[in-house]
Chains A and B, each alone.
Chain A
C-alpha cells in the first residue's frame, strides 16, 4: 500500500521524517531538475524577446470603466500590460481584474500591449453574459493548468508522473480536468489522497503566483518539453494551428511551465475555494484528475459547494487523449 499512499514532496512543504526511520524524505530531484531547466529556457527566451525592443515608444490606451467613463492612459509600447494600466487607476482593479479586453479581444492581464487600443478590465463579477462566458472559461482553464502543476509535484519519487494535456475548458460540465499518466496500474485514490492534493493546491494558490505568458518558437518549445513525450508530440500540431504557423504559447506560474492556447487569469490569488473531486482511470495508465473551484471574490455556502463537489465527481465527458502507443 506504500504505492497508493503519497506524501508532500514539493519544495514548499518539506515533510518531517518519522522518528524511527533512516530513510529521509528526499526532495523531488527529477521534477525539480526538469522544472529548473524549463525555467532557465523560459527566462532566456523572455530576456531575448525583451531585448528586441530598441527604445520605448508611447501608446495611448483608452480605458473604459464603470458607467462607460473613458480615460486615456499613456503607456509604453510592447512593455506595459493591462495590469500596469490598472495600477494607474485603482487598487480594487489591480486585485480583482481577472482578464482584459483589448480592442474587444480577450487579453492576459500581464501580456504587453502592442499598440493604441481600448481597454476593459474584467473581474469575476462581470456586467453582461458575453464578458461572463469569457471570464468563466479563463478561470476554468487556469484551474486545469494549476491542477496539472500541483499533481506533477504531489507523487512520491518512485512514481513517474507525465502530464498529458487538458481539454478545452467547459464550465457547464461542472469540473476542470487534467489528464496525467502515472506509472501506476489500478490506482484507487483514497479520501486522504484527495485531501492532500487539495491542500497542496490551496497552498500553491495562496502564494499568489502570477501567470506569465510567452509566445515561443516551436523549436524552443520542443527543447523545453523534451522530457515529456506527450507534449513533444503535441507541440508540432499546436504550432501549425497558431497564427504565424510556428509559435506555441506557454505560461509560467511559479515554478511550473505548461502549454496552453487561451488566456489565463492574472494571478492565483483570484482562486478561492478549491477541491479535487475525483480521479478516473481512462486508459491503462492515464488518469483523469477532476476538480472544482470558485474564485475568491464569490462566496458560497459550504452546503452549496458540497453540491458542486458531488456533481464534479462524475466522469467529465470531455475528449479523452488518444494514445498512439502505450
Chain B
C-alpha cells in the first residue's frame, strides 16, 4: 500500500519490547505512571545499577534503551532527542552524562545497553519479585559469574571429535554421490 516505511525512523532495540505498555494505575492516572517511570530511568542513568520490582524494571528498561538508542543515532544537536532527554531525566546533569558518557560507551555495541537480572522474592507466592536493572559496562563487580568456556571438558572433547568424523564422512558420501552425476555429463 502507500504506508511509509516506519521501520527506518527508529533504530531497532535489542531487547524484547512488549506490544502493550503496563498500566501502573495511580491516582494521577497515566501522568503518575510516567512520573514514576521517569524517576526509574533517572535513577538508572545516575546509579547505573538499581534494585526494584520486576514490572517497573522491565518497563523502564524499554524506555531507557530507546532513549540511549536515539541519543546514539541522532546526537545531542537533534531537537527531539534533546527534548526527550530533558523529559525523561529529572536531574539535568544526567543529560550531559547521557550524551558525553553513555553514547561513546555504547556506540560500538551490538547488544542491548541494559541488563535485567531477576532478584530475590522476599516472601513466598506467585508474584514477579524484585529485579536488578543495570547499564552494561558499569564499574561494579559482575552480578553473575562470567560464562566459562567448557570446550576442553572431557565430554565436549569427545563429542567434538565425533562431530568432526561425522562431517568428514558426510562430505565423502556427498562427493561420491556427485561424482557419478558428473561422469554422466
Question: Which chain A residues have a beta carbon within 8 Å of chain B's beta carbons?
Answer: 124-129, 132-133, 135-136, 139, 171-174, 292, 294-295, 298, 300, 304, 307-308, 310-311
Could you tell me the distance between the alpha carbons of A173 and B165 in the complex, rounded to whole angstroms? 11
For A172, the chain B residues whose CB sits under 8 A away are: 157, 161
14 contacts between A and B (CB under 8 A): A125-B153, A132-B157, A133-B152, A136-B153, A136-B157, A139-B154, A173-B161, A174-B161, A174-B162, A294-B155, A295-B154, A300-B155, A308-B155, A311-B161
Is the pair A136, B154 in contact by a Cβ cutoff of 8 Å? yes
> Is B31's beta carbon under 8 Å from chain A?
no
Q: Chain A residues near B165 (CB, 8 Å)?
A: 311
**Which chain A residue lies CB-closest to B160?**
A172
- Distance of B87 from chain A, by nearest CB (Å): 44
B171: interface (CB < 8 Å):
no
B residues in contact with A139, CB < 8 Å: 154
* Contact B152 A174, beta carbon cutoff 8 Å: no
Cross-chain contact A308 with B159 (CB below 8 angstroms): yes
Q: How far is the CA of A76 from the CA of B169 in the complex (A)?
A: 56
Contact A304 B154 (CB under 8 A): no
When chains A and B are docked, how far (Å) is the Cα of A311 from the Cα of B153?
Answer: 18
Chain B residues lying within 8 Å of A127, measured Cβ to Cβ, are: 148
Report if B158 contacts A (CB, 8 A). Answer: yes
Contacts of B158 in A (CB 8 A): 171, 174, 292, 308, 311
Q: With a CB–CB cut-off of 8 A, which chain B residues contact A126?
A: 152-153
Would you call A132 and B162 a contact (CB within 8 A)? no
Q: Which 5 A-B pairs have the closest CB atoms?
A: A132-B152, A311-B162, A136-B154, A129-B152, A298-B155
Q: Are A298 and B161 neighbours in the complex by a CB distance under 8 Å?
A: no
How many angstroms from the CA of A190 to the CA of B118 in the assembled complex? 54
Q: Tell which of B148, B150, B158 has the most Cβ of chain A within 10 Å.
A: B158
